[in-house]
Amino acid sequence: MPISINHVQKEDVREMFDDIAPKYDFLNHFLSMGIDKRWRKRLRKEMAKNTPISIIDVATGTGDLAFELSKIKEASIIGVDIAEKMLIIAKEKSQKKKLNDRVSFQLADGSELPFSDNSFDAASISFGIRNFENPQKGLEDILRVLKPGGYAYILEFGKPEKQPMKSFYKLYSSHILPFFGKLFSGHTKAYKYLPSSVKKFLFGDNFCELMKTAGFEEARFIKLTFGIVYLYIGKK
C-alpha cells in the first residue's frame, strides 16, 4: 500500500493552480530572482546525458520545463497536468515558440497517467511532487510508464542546513514570499501553502528512500543553490 505523507487534497491543488495561472510565470521568475531557469537547465543537462527520445513531464504547469527539455536533440515531450488553465497557457506558449511538433500537452492526473507501461525513456517533474495527494502513488505511476532502464528527474524544494542561508531562507519563505505572492497574484492561500508544504515534505536521503519504496532501483540527489532545491535522479 502506498504511504500517504501529504494532507493536500487533489481538488484543492487543481483549483489553487487554476486561480494563479495568469500570474504563475511572472511570480516564478520574480520570487526565485530568475534562478528557477538555472534549476531547469541543470535538470535538462543531467537528462541529456542519457539521450532520451520520449519524455513525459508530469505536473508540467505552464510548460517551462517541457520547453527546456525540447533543447535535447530529437526529444519529443508530453506535458501533463491536472490544472486546465495552466495547460491553456502552456499551449499558447508552445505555439509562440513554434514547438508544437516537439512538445504537446494533455490534461491528466499525475497519479493515474493515461499511458501504457514502459512508454517513456525519461520522466520529469519540477516542484510538483509535494503537491500530490499521495506522492508515493505518483512516483509509482511515473515508474510504471518509464521503460526499463529509464530515469526520472525530479526538482523539489529542500531546506538549507547551513548558516547563514538557513536563516535567510526561513525568513524569505515564511514572510517575503507570501507577501509578494499575495501582492501580485491576489491569492493569499497559494503563497502561504507553498512554504507550509515545503516545510512538511521530505527531502534529501528521506525522499530518496521514498523513491526506492516506490520501486526505483537507484535514487540519488544533487543539491542546488545551497540546498534550497534538490535534483533527484531515479533509475527504473
pLDDT in tens, 4-35: 444 467 888 888 888 887 777 777 777 777 89
Average pLDDT in the chain? 90
Question: Is the pLDDT confidence value at 56 over 60?
Answer: yes
What is the value of pTM for the model shown?
A: 0.90
Long-range contacts of 91-99 (CB under 8 A, 24+ apart): 91/63, 93/62, 93/63, 93/67, 94/63, 94/67, 97/67, 99/67, 99/70
pLDDT in tens, 180-193: 767 666 766 766 77
| Whether the Cβ atoms of residue 195 and residue 173 lie closer than 8 Å to each other | yes
Domains and CATH numbers, the chain: 10-160+202-235 (3.40.50.150)
The model's confidence at residue 64, banded by pLDDT at 50, 70 and 90, is very high
pLDDT in tens, 73-108: 999 999 999 999 999 999 999 999 999 999 999 999
